[in-house]
Structure 1
Amino acid sequence: MTRWLSAAWLRTALLPIAGLLLVLPLPIASAQRVCLPLPRLLSTMPMGGQAGTEVEIKITTEYVTEPVGLHFSHPGITSAPKLDDSGNPIPNEYIVAIPADCPPGIYEARIMSQLGISSSRVFSVDQLPEVTQTSPNTSLETALELPVGSICNSQMTDRSIDHYRFTAREGQRCLIHCASRSIDSKLDPVLILADELGRDLVVERRGGVIDYTVPADGTYVIKVHELTFKGGAGYFYRLSLRELEADQPHPLFASTRDVSSFSWPPTGLAETAESTEVEPNHSAELAQTIQLPCDLAGSFATAADVDTYQFQATKGDVWWIEVASARLGRPTNPSLIVQQVVQDGDKETTTEVLQLTDIPSPVKPSSNGYAYDGPPYDGGTPDLLGKLEVPADGLYRLQLTDLFGGTRTDPANVYRLVIRKAEPDFALVAWGLHMELRNGDRNALTKPIALRGGGTVALEVIAFRRDGFAGPIELTLDGLPDGVTASGLRIGPGSNRGIVLVTAHQDAPQGLTFAQFRGHAEIDGQPVTRDCPAAAPAWPITDSWGEVPRTRLEAEVPVSVGGFEVAPITIAPADPAVLEVVGNETLTIPLKHVIRGEFSGSILQLRTFGHGFEANPRFDVSLTADASEAVLDLSKLKPTPGDHVIAFYGSAVVKHRYADGEAPQDTAEIVVTEPITIRVQPTESK
């Protein structure tokens, strides 16, 4: 259990300084931890419930003590501790009430504690009755009865196969669905439908869905196992068994959204496309004629499907073409070409004028998938966006295919094709700043905004720019707890990255709010505001060689202060007033230090946040004194005139005590200074 130190105790008994800080990137020893403890909700069992019912759930957590209560992203879902016969709360057990009018879908659960708000875990709501697997069902003899029209919540046992039994009638269409990755599970499911004796009838290794029309009355068996037969607390799933009418389409199964989907949809796009694909259109002779602009829904329905469209265009026109499929949650990789078609009698000549492939990430992600030389988030997507500049009047042919679809037939692999005149815009996503580690250190942690008193955390904000928009974007984070402030370091013109700093005063009380995170810009002379969702890894990975991080968008942006621990160090400007300087001068910034913890090392090396200032050389500060200074040579940095918010950051190795009576352990932690505002005057104004 983590040792909790109150702010009052630390103010009267500050720990002595044992050492100093290290540089980024860190040469981390194998025994060294990464990131001071942050509260995390790891699992709930069951993982959801039926609307209009109460559900008893058990949770598992990390770094959670003195929990205050469960919070859900749907305001109508409430919880209370489960009590024993003496009226005392049972640890990690809750009664969750789901209102009858709660729409089916996925929501997020979090727990508040002495360290603040935890990371989230998906909690699903459905209209079907639900059961929870409570005893082993790893053989045909112990198969769990699962009636048609119900859901079972279960956790996979290592090296095993779960069995379920149901009764169906001849001609009954049954849809079996195993929700796993879509609800934060680590499980890659293999779903098998078998006869009463366990003989396999259908095996599904992709997608977790079996659609089966029963040939005869009788008993049938469902088997579920992990692709590599792994199991444990992170390998949970929800198995649903539904009856469908003969011509009824599959329901839309709710799912978390991958980080790359933050750039979809464009603002103002209708939920339903204006037109649809008309098959057959798999060749030039069968090309479907469309009119520009165009908003069309289609599908890579058959193996090696090549959907072909044709349209008339005028010389000099500029059209933006965008395709979404992977961002709709489909396992696809679209590819598109546009050809100019010239007819000369019976002879046809085609010239390729545009080819589109993947949309790259707005910032370089880590090259090994973890926090090494970039963030463990990839904002890029296999989807498409590009500009068509029409070279001549005439006919043009567009061919759209799925590079992953060579051998598979799946009508569910849908896409949306949008061809439009330029509509400049932007989309944003943010995540907690991650430490850059040496190659071989595999770390990707969930980092909820759970602040220690006196601490500042940095959120990295990424911009996806659409249809040529290149202007600056201001960042705001509003609706914060008492004692907490936020400062946005703008995303500069043409840049794709900004920073938001969130700071808790040393005496900030325990608190939790759900903040409004937004970006603001001017487009075509009009003010534009866009929401900024947060992203996080689905599971914290501390040091793994066998687990690849999966990152997703979150439903809310909770900001919290634990109120029981303080940051090991605070570095702030000695004078919080705006610093004024002429654009070709050298600016010296006095800094003050408040040391509350022990560190390894002797030097803190700092880098600079802030558009126009990030080329500032790294510099060292000493922690043997309670002050230091930063020097900025504006004649070399050449920032634009106006107000700028900057900060400095580096990495510390903190000696943190994880439990009473234990020796402190080295823990690598990012240190961020409080924000500094600089007003740069034009050079000629001196």
Structure 2
Amino acid sequence: MRRLTFALALIVSCVHSASAQTAFPMLMSLKPVAVQVGTTSEVTVNSRYSMHSAESVLVTEGGVLAEVVPPEVKKDDKAPNVTALKIKVSVAPDAMPGVRDLRILTAQGVSTVAQLVVVEDPVIVEQAKNDSLAEAQAIALPATVCGCIEKAEDLDFFKFKIEAPMSLVFHVRSQRLQDRIHDLQAHSDPILTIRNAQGSTIAAADNVFHGDPFLCHRFEQPGEYFLEIRDVRYTGNQYWEYAVEIHSRPFVRSVFPLAITAGKAQRLSAIGVQLPPDPTVTFTPSGDLPIGINRVRLPFAERPSNPVATYVSALPTITEATEDNNDAAALLAADQSKIENQKSQITLPCVINGRIEKPDDVDCFVFEAKKDDKLSFEVKARRLQSELDSTIRILNATGATIAENDDLRLGKRGSQDSWIESLTIPADGKYVLEIRDMHLRGGENFVYAIEVTQARPYFSLFADTDKTNLSPGVNGVMWVKVERKNGFTGAVQLHVEGLPSGVTAECGRILPDKGTDGCIIFHATAEAGRVVSPLVIRGTGVHAQADGQMTELSALATTYQEMYQPGGGRGHWPVDQHVLAVIPAHDIRGIKLSTTDIALKPGESKTIDVTIDRAPDFKANVSLDVTMTHLQLFADTLPPGVTVDGNKSKTLLSNGATQGTIALTASKDAAPVERQLIGLTANISLNFVVKTTFSADPVFVTVVKP
């Protein structure tokens, strides 16, 4: 888990004004978006909804501390609309360069996520007027240039001098910094152009790292040059920040082999630009690196490289041989010893390190399997900055395709990596694993790692959403969804780690078989005080094997931040942490229920009377629910066959109303369930998509045997 670091900077007054529909801040941008290692600088945080009473800044990973610079407010302005807030950011000299999540904690709640870039070179901030060659802003290199494509037809120009022939790297971050911005529905699509002193284009780059440009250009002639950055569509937005790192150092895009072993010395070959004559290094990754994708820095002679993604695995690794292995039929027919010498015969489980070296290249690997074996083949390439858009096939001994895959999906997000999961082998014999680029491209950076394993029952968890704001007297709720794989059908018990003092949690379960959702109810005591903490959500389950043995399973939840989609839809994007904050009394001060224990017979209905305690002068609409719904159902923890009877319920409390009802009905064929935890919530709409949600005390629903 990434560490959370923050510095408290208490504002003189943290008194919360109970105005209608009080909203947590929704961060939109940071200006500048980058900070340099070993320095302290000021950054302006821009948001929708006020950051008044901001208390602390939260930054992931470590090496970065930040604090609020108290804004100037009028003495008689108890709740100013602070949508631009200065923070002071201090970066350790040894902080890892790269992108971090940043949040602001206020009395209104913890904010959504913004993105902060840690860089190695001095940060230069765009001047107000630099929209033409004549107005180009002079910069000294190396540097990280920060600016904003803030309006339609905005062109930003910067001029620099080249004293002697040299090569420079230009690395743009803009579009990638916007994926996690909750309410930024339109994203930038930057294009980078290098011009000579006469204004002629000598180099340009568009989409390299997703929608962001990257360019390495050699300047043969000394003189003055211009950097131009704009949106390729000539559109703009006040929140479209960018950072352009410009330097002459090596830039590593990827490594070969991609899969490494923690704590073991191994030879890695860097792939990129401006590399040393011999780009190979002996690298010993830390022994405590977790299994999965990790960023590491290669030990070059002069200084460590920029961080590069690798895949850490505990499985045996096999590296593709230099001989051709692109003819599946030849490999199947070849002598066994010859195949072994070519390293094209693999033994399961393993991780295969390989590369599609040239266009039209196809790599094949032979393996033996038994009838009814269940095998999984997962490609890790594009997720580690490889250029490969993989597609894989499994061929039988006659060369017929028995399985193939192009793109995979993990939870709500997709990837251009491939994954054949839980393939049932039809007969004993030899098989071929084939991989190629979907568009038959190839080259140095078309590297891959393929994890080949026996398919085991498991599950994945996804937390919706990324933050919980609660106050003493009113609870918070988290919804968690499960995806079961490879035959696992059991229940999943939820757990939470990292609760601060004064906060407790009632952890529910996700019912077996078709059950997909569970919830956790958080409660803060009156003594909890002002606390904030990152949480780790875990689930455990037991898989019953065919022979009667029980296997214990466990998984950590991926945290999603909800996204305001164009047209009013609700999307999700993974973020680093779920953060819980205890805040002062809010618009809803309490939720009282007539009962928290409901027992239903099949065909029976029962009603829960709900009374909410509103803050003074808070008259806005409040909606009651026991599910998470926006245009579609996102979470439902009710037992199968139990539904809310809309005709018997009063869920909309308008014009200051405080009394409502939730009527639950069990269908005639509802199966028995013991004490299933549900979240009965009171929701305040902040805009068409986003709600502030508070929960009543834990409610348990039982379906009794008829």
Please report the TM-score for the alignment, with normalisation by the length of structure 2. 0.71
Structure 2 residue matching 1:240: 3-state secondary structure: strand
Deviates more, 1:182-191 or 1:115-124: 182-191
Greater shift in the superposed pair: 520-529 or 509-518: 520-529
Q: Provide the residue aligned with 1:638 in structure 2.
A: 671
2:481 to 451, 457, 462: 462
Specify the alignment match of 1:65 in structure 2.
52
Q: Contact 2:521–2:698 at 8 Å: present in 1 too?
A: no
Deviation at 1:286, TM superposition (A): 7.8
Q: CA deviation at 1:468?
A: 3.6
Ranges in structure 1 where 5+ consecutive residues have no aligned partner: 16-34, 253-262, 343-349, 363-376, 433-446, 659-664
Contact in 1 for aligned 2:54/2:107 (Cα 8 Å): yes
Greater shift in the superposed pair: 150-159 or 625-634: 625-634
Q: Which has the higher contact order (CA 8 A, sep 6+)?
A: 1
1:460-499 alignment runs, 5 A limit: 460-480=479-499, 484-495=503-514, 497-499=516-518
Match of 2:118 among 114, 125, 137: 125
Q: 2:537 is matched with which residue?
A: 517
Q: Write out per-residue CA displacement over residues 35-85 of structure 1, whole angstroms, 9 at most, x where no aligned residue.
A: 862222222212221221111211212222121122222454223444799
1:531 alignment partner in structure 2: 556
Once the 2 structures are TM-superposed, how far is the Cα of residue 106 of structure 1 from its aligned partner?
1.9
Distance 1:647 1:71, change over 3 A: closer
Q: Against the structure 1 CA distance between its residues 616 and 382, is the aligned structure 2 distance closer, same or farther, given a 3 Å change threshold?
A: farther
- The percentage of aligned residue pairs carrying the same residue is 17
- Change beyond 3 A, Cα 1:630–1:332: farther
Give the deviation of 1:549 after TM superposition: 8.1
Q: Look up the match of 2:93.
A: 100
Distance 1:627 1:141 in 2: 66
Amino acid paired to 2:272:
H
Distance in 2, matches of 1:381 and 1:464, equals 20
Partner of 2:206: 205
CA RMSD for the aligned pairs?
4.4
The residue correspondences of 1:506-585 to structure 2 (distance < 5 A) are 509-523=529-543, 525-537=550-562, 541=564, 544-545=566-567, 551-567=572-588, 571-576=591-596, 581=599
User: Which range is displaced more, 100-109 or 310-319?
Assistant: 310-319
Q: Does the CA contact (< 8 Å) of 1:583 and 1:638 recur in 2? A: no
Aligned to 2:632: none
2:106 aligned partner: 113
- Give the conservation status (yes or no) of the 8 Å contact 2:250–2:273: no
Tell me what 1:426 maps to: 459
Deviations 1:270-328 (A, max 9, x none): 18982334465444478671312231233456555533333333444332222233444
The residue aligned with 1:677 is: 700
Does residue 355 of structure 1 match 2:390? no
Return 5+ residue gaps in structure 2 as ranges.
Answer: 1-12, 76-81, 180-186, 252-268, 275-290, 295-310, 332-341, 544-548, 628-634
C-alpha deviation, 1:682, in angstroms: 6.1
Deviations 1:330-361 (A, max 9, x none): 6765322211134xxxxxxx222222344456
Determine helix, strand or coil for the equivalent of 1:249. Answer: strand
8 Å contact from structure 1 (residues 40, 119) kept in 2: yes
* Partner Cα separation in structure 2 for residue 549 and residue 235 of structure 1: 21
Distance 1:241 1:388, change over 3 A: same
**SS of structure 1 residue aligned to 2:584:** strand
Equivalence for 1:18: none
Counterpart contact for 1:452–1:567, Cα < 8 Å: no
8 A Cα contact 1:65 1:113, kept in partner: yes
| CA contact 1:148–1:243 (8 Å) conserved in 2 | no
User: Secondary structure, in 3 states, of the residue corresponding to 1:515?
Assistant: strand
Residues 612-663 of structure 1: per-residue CA shift (max 9 Å, x gap): 34642533324678464634437532134x44212446877x7x8x9xxxxx
Q: CA deviation at 1:118?
A: 0.7
Contact 2:162–2:223 at 8 Å: present in 1 too?
yes
Of 30, 45, 51, the residue aligned with 1:44 is: 30
C-alpha distance in 2 between matches for 1:412 and 1:639? 56
- 2:421 is the alignment partner of 1:386: yes
8 Å CA contact 2:642–2:666 kept in 1: the answer is no
Q: Distance in 2 between matches of 1:379 and 1:639?
A: 37
- Tell me if the contact between 2:477 and 2:694 (Cα under 8 Å) persists in the aligned partners: no
Report how many aligned residue pairs link the two structures. Answer: 590
Q: Give the direction of change, closer, same or farther, for the CA distance of 1:591–1:317 in structure 2 (3 Å limit).
A: same
Of stretches 353-362 and 172-181 in structure 1, the one that deviates more from structure 2 is 353-362
Task: Please give the alpha-carbon distance, in whole angstroms, between the structure 1 residues aligned to 2:273 and 2:570.
Answer: 28
Q: Secondary structure at the match of 1:475?
A: strand
1:298 matched to 2:354: yes
Matched, 1:160 2:195: no
Amino acid at match of 1:324: K
Question: Which residue of the partner structure matches residue 649 of structure 2?
Answer: 621
1:196 deviates by 3.0
CA distance in 1, matches of 2:682, 2:576: 30
Q: Which one of the candidate residues 214, 219, 225 is aligned to 1:220?
A: 225
Task: Look up the equivalent residue of 2:636 and give its one-letter code.
Answer: F
Q: One-letter code of the match for 1:142? A: E
One-letter amino acid of the counterpart of residue 645, structure 2: R
The answer to whether the 8 Å contact 2:371/2:425 transfers is yes
| Partner SS, residue 532 of structure 1 | strand
Tell me, in whole angstroms, the C-alpha distance in 1 between the residues paired with 2:120 and 2:45: 23
Residues of 1 paired with 2:505 and 2:644: CA distance? 26
Query: Could you tell me how far apart the structure 1 residues matched to 2:71 and 2:692 are?
Result: 40
Instruction: Tell whether the 8 Å contact from 1:144 to 1:164 is kept in structure 2 after alignment.
Output: yes
Whether contact under 8 Å (2:517, 2:637) holds in the other structure is yes
Paired residues for 1:324-339 under 5 Å: 324-328=380-384, 333-339=389-395
The structure-2 alpha-carbon separation of the partners of 1:466 and 1:269, relative to structure 1 and needing over 3 Å to count, comes to: farther
Partner of 1:234: 239
Give the direction of change, closer, same or farther, for the CA distance of 1:410–1:210 in structure 2 (3 Å limit).
farther
Superposed displacement of residue 189, structure 1: 1.6
CA distance in structure 2 between the partners assigned to 1:209 and 1:390 by the alignment: 44
Cα shift at 1:592: 3.4
Alignment partner for residue 171 of structure 2, among 170, 177, 181? 177
Please list the CA deviations of residues 112-142 of structure 1 after superposition, one character each: whole Å capped at 9, or x if unmatched: 1121111121112222232222343222233
Superposed CA deviations along residues 436-465 of structure 1, whole A, max 9, x for unmatched, are: xxxxxxxxxxx7423366555543323344
8 Å contact 2:165–2:218 — kept in the other structure? yes
In 2, Cα distance between equivalents of 1:61 and 1:635: 50
SS at match of 1:182: helix
Aligned mates of 2:504, 2:600 — CA distance in 1? 28
Change (3 A) 1:495 1:138: farther
Q: Partner of 2:586: helix, strand, or coil?
A: strand
CA distance in 1, matches of 2:667, 2:569: 42
Match of 2:335 in 1: none
Q: What displacement does 1:178 show?
A: 0.4
Q: Identify if the C-alpha distance between structure 1 residues 115 and 305 changes in structure 2 by more than 3 Å, giving closer, same or farther.
A: farther
Q: CA deviation at 1:111?
A: 0.9
Q: CA deviation at 1:475?
A: 1.4
Map of 1:594 onto structure 2 = 612
* 8 Å Cα contact 1:195-1:201 kept in structure 2: yes
Work out whether residues 190 and 224 of structure 1, in 8 Å CA contact, stay in contact via their aligned partners in 2: yes
Note if contact 1:621-1:628 (Cα within 8 Å) is conserved in structure 2: yes
Query: In the TM superposition, what are the counterparts of 1:643-662 in structure 2 within 5 Å?
Result: 643-648=675-680
Deviation at 1:378, TM superposition (A): 4.1
Task: State the TM-score, normalizing by the size of structure 1.
Answer: 0.73
Match of 1:317 among 364, 370, 373: 373
Residues 468-477 or 240-249, more deviating:
240-249
Retained in 1: the 8 A contact 2:358–2:443? Answer: yes
